[in-house]
Structure 1
Amino acid sequence: MDASIRTWLAELESADKNVQYEALQNLLAATDTKVDWAYEMWGPLLGWLTDRDNHRRSRAAQLLSNLARSDPDQRMLADFSKLWAVTYDPKFVTARHTLQNIWKVGLAGPEQKSMVVTHLADRFRTCSDEKNYTLVRYDIIAGLKKMYDERNEEEIKRTALSLIDSEEDLKYRKKYAAVWS
């Protein structure tokens, strides 16, 4: 891990929210491709998933989602449940940031893709009792679209379109379908 990465990690703890935000953006950009230092961050980030600070939980979830592609030991297969739990975070914005990024785990390999698609599809089908469930469903459909755009696998598209077709409210069915237009 180079000095800039260490600096950005330290800046995540800054009292200045702008410094924190810029550090997060830099770390997300740095982890948008494979890196060889993922496991140096992995343990601390896992710990942050349950931190009392919702900003830490959100950052950890976003960064771990990105780091999944840099996981040759496939730790994410065992740790995914901890990451997935943050999609139910009491702070909706934290849950939503996690849900909007968790699709990236599916880029790490076929097992990870299958795991993510299954979890997203199950959540779509069962979230109607949740507050803001239409946003949750929208984020699921958008995440599946992003994964499809990266992987170009028809199974992902079929799953998403099937979920969209299962939406009973025509207004939301159209909104979700527009993601795939």
Structure 2
Amino acid sequence: MIICDGDMKIRAVDARYPGSSHDSFVWNISRARNYFVQMYESGDRTSKLLGDCGYGIEPFLLTPYRDPHYNSQEYKFNLAHTSGRNIVERTIGVFKGRFRCLLSTLHYRPEKVVKIVNVCAALHNICRNYKIEHNEDDQPAPSNDIEGNIESPQNTTLQSEGRRIRDEIANTL
């Protein structure tokens, strides 16, 4: 799991679980989610993340609508959402292109893999900070979003509030 900002800097990474682990599983037990829940519960209503349909919706984690009607407000929201999420796909592409060892399985103990990914993320951020360019011709193609929307069973109040916020945003488009 990677969280990045608009400058393609990696703000959080969690490589403790294999790629076969579902996105929602990794998110639900992550420190990043705990941080956002605490911020939300202490009154922060402005921090938002954009997640793909592999995540459950929450007030601070907005996901796309499932199967919206063409040209509806929900459809327009999904277009804007996809456009906004494009940065994470580009970041992952640059990250893996810059550190090509991440393109395939790292044959080390899981604890060492976590350290390798964390160091690569730190070096990536240093490169971004000092504007060290990456040759984009070498980056892998982004993956397709084909997973269904998974609702987190942990807190239906957060899900309801997330849906309300998403609807409110969609209605302004």
Give TM-score scaled by structure 2 length.
Answer: 0.27
The structure richer in helix per residue is: 1
Task: Tell which has more relative contact order, 1 or 2 (C-alpha 8 A, sep 6+).
Answer: 2
The structure richer in strand per residue is: 2
Give TM-score scaled by structure 1 length.
Answer: 0.26
